[in-house]
Copies of this chain bind each other. A is one copy, B any other.
Amino acid sequence: MPITDWLPAAVRAQARERKLKAGEALFRLGDKSAGFVEVVSGRVRLSRVDRAGRETVLYVAAPGDTVAEASLFSPRYHCDAIASTDASVRIYPKAAVLAAFAQDSKAAQGFAATLAQQVMTLRTRLEQRNIRSARERVRHFLALNAGEDGRTVDLSGATLKEVAAELGLSHEALYRTLSALERAGEIARAGTTITLSRARAAV
């Protein structure tokens, strides 16, 4: 869900760019919230540090991800944001965003729609993680990512390693599972595309 889908150009124009060195903090728990953030390059992790000094990672944002949307409605940040690699980000000032929402209810709806969509996607992904078996997990993934025709999955743009990470599997496990499915005749692979065979064992 690219940010351009819902954020009015007028607001986007007010973004502040910022470069971060690996290890540098973008904001810290308790800081006054400046706005929400889009990661342009690098990785930024959100985390909390407990009394014992131990860091608990909440999320690792990759390019294209946005974080701290909730800070729009809160005076302070609720966790730390730290660059895991050299990174660059865009900060969308809270005041500008909220003003846009107040004036233009379409913009607010677009924002809500994007968030609702994300909630759905995340719930689905979480559901996926409840599946224990690698094979079932991969089937779940393929079923959900099949294109219009319901039987073709196009991976172009993502490496299998990335898919493995999304599935919560080691890349080796994914390779093996895919070959097993292929050997079993459930899928056929051609380069960047996977085709589901119609003949499927009943569940």
Question: A residues engaging B (CB < 8 A)?
Answer: 48, 50-60, 69-70, 72-73, 98, 101-102, 105, 108-109, 111-113, 115-120, 122-127, 129-130, 140, 143-144, 146, 150-151, 168, 196, 198, 200, 202-203
Contacts and interface: CB of A to CB of B under 8 A. Distances in A.
Given A124-B58, A140-B56, A143-B56, A51 B113 contact: no
Nearest to A202: B53
Contacts of A122: 119, 122-123, 126
Given A48-B144, A50-B143, A54-B200, A112 B123 contact: no
A119 B115 contact: yes
A115 to B, nearest CB: 4
A72 B102 CA distance: 19
Contact of A51 (B130, B151, B202): B151
Chain copies in complex: 2
A168 B129 contact: yes
Nearest to A130: B168
B116 A116 contact: no
Given A118-B119, A143-B50, A150-B51, A109 B109 contact: no
A200 B144 contact: no
Contacts of A119: 69-70, 115, 118-119, 122
